[in-house]
DNA sequence: GTGCTATTTTAGAACAATTCCAATCTAGAA
DNA sequence: TTCTAGATTGGAATTGTTCTAAAATAGCAC
């Protein structure tokens, strides 16, 4: 269980998000949130579910991930063209992205200081994302 | 012509990059670099080329964009899952990303201060990208 | 100019990630 | 138990990108 998990269990979390606690949603919520902070792709989560004998289709994986994002239980991170990562850490924070392995690693927001933020010409700032791309050699 | 364009013309640029100046590469280089800083997708560039009566295939668009990135004439920006943007501004800088329109806007690197950069556990830092996501309403 | 060859371009097939769809199933209320 | 709105499903469709093998071309040598 992660330090950011504010719910007693997956059931309570789904209730709070007003998502009907179905077999699949409960199982996926457990996979996602009972192991600390994670960054998973849809494919990884599907493989994990199948390995854990949870019968779930790819369509449901995508439905569920997007519902969790909409309910602010997950955050989508875009670092790779043609593949989305879903981050169970919804606190304000940043990322290392390791280009060879395709892995992400959290950076707590107080570890990086972003100052002098300019205002956009219109609209409101939704999020400030810092991605530090890391390669294996110079 | 942009303030960052260090070449007299597209031909010279391709020569410097050791890319044979073919009809298509010359035409695409002109579209990309003779209009100031731009952020284009492969599809946009293809549409533009066709509209300008430049016969060029989608495969060549992708080949050319990737060759330009490898030659450091362009930079790839990832802000959207499933779609790459190519940025003609190769100077160190950041971006506003307008979520409704899918548009990018440059932020000069001296407009944002990123301090206290943590070191990655291994590897070397390739780039630090700041994306400010902007929405239309709260 | 002509011929030659390595490089480039091409159309279309293949591919990967994601979304859509219409049929079936199920949670939860009555 | 029955009912129904909402959820899940397999498979087809869609989207963005890459691959492939054949045709075209840049640029050199003559």
A13-44 pLDDT, tens digit each: 999 999 999 999 999 999 999 988 999 999 99
Per CB-CB distance under 8 Å, the chain B contacts of A123 are 98, 100, 134-137
The Cα angle at residue B14 between residues B11 and B20, in degrees rounded to 5:
100
Nearest Cβ partner of B80 from A78, A96, A121? A78
B128 at A interface, C-beta within 8 A: yes
Per CB-CB distance under 8 Å, the chain A contacts of B117 are 112, 132
* DSSP-assigned states of every residue in B36-97: SS-EE-HHHHHHHHHHTT----HHHHHHHHHHHHHTTSSEEEEEETTEEEEES--SSEEEEE
The answer on pLDDT for A1 being more than 70 is no
Closest CA to B84 of A135, B92, B68: B68
Which pairs from A17-22 meet CB under 8 Å and 24+ separation? Answer: A17/A67, A17/A68, A17/A71, A17/A73, A18/A71, A19/A67, A19/A71
For A111-121, how does the pLDDT look when each residue is reduced to its tens digit (9 = 90+)?
999 998 999 99
* Mean pLDDT (chain A, rounded): 94
The answer on pLDDT for B1 being more than 70 is no
* Cα B125 to Cα A135: distance, rounded to the nearest angstrom: 6
pLDDT value of residue A137: 73
Tokens standing for B95? 């971006």
**In sequence order, what E strands does chain A have?**
39-40, 75-80, 83-87, 93-98, 103-108, 113-115, 124-135
Task: Locate the chain B residue with the closest alpha carbon to A106.
Answer: B120
pLDDT value of residue A5: 75
B101 at A interface, C-beta within 8 A: no
Beta carbons of B137 and A129 less than 8 Å apart: no
Per CB-CB distance under 8 Å, the chain A contacts of B113 are 113-116
Beta carbons of B82 and A80 less than 8 Å apart: no
- Residue whose Cα is closest to the C1' of C20: A59
List residue ranges whose Cβ is under 7 angstroms from nucleic strand D: A 19-20, 22-25, 55-60, 63-64, 81-82; B 20-23, 41-43, 58-59, 62, 66, 82-84
* Cα B116 to Cα B120: distance, rounded to the nearest angstrom: 12
Per CB-CB distance under 8 Å, the chain B contacts of A115 are 112-113, 115
* Cα B47 to Cα B40: distance, rounded to the nearest angstrom: 11
Dihedral-angle region of residue A82 (phi above 0 means left; psi in -120 to 50 means alpha; beta otherwise): left
Beta carbons of A132 and B120 less than 8 Å apart: yes
Task: State the residue for tokens 């495969």.
Answer: B59
pLDDT value of residue A48: 98
Beta carbons of A130 and B112 less than 8 Å apart: no
pLDDT value of residue B4: 64
């Amino acid at each position: 269980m992660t330090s950011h998990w504010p719910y007693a269990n997956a059931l309570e979390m789904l209730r709070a998000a007003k998502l009907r606690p179905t077999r699949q949603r409960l199982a996926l919520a457990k996979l996602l949130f009972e192991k600390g902070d994670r960054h998973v792709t849809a494919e990884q989560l599907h493989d994990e579910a199948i390995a854990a004998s949870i019968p779930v289709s790819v369509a449901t994986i995508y439905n569920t991930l997007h519902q969790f994002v909409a309910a602010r239980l997950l955050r989508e991170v875009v670092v790779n063209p043609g593949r989305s990562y879903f981050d169970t850490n919804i606190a304000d924070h940043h990322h290392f992205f390791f280009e060879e392995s395709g892995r992400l690693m959290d950076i707590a927001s107080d570890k990086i200081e972003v100052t002098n933020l300019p205002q956009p010409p219109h609209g409101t700032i939704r999020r400030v994302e810092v991605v530090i791309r890391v390669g294996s050699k110079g």
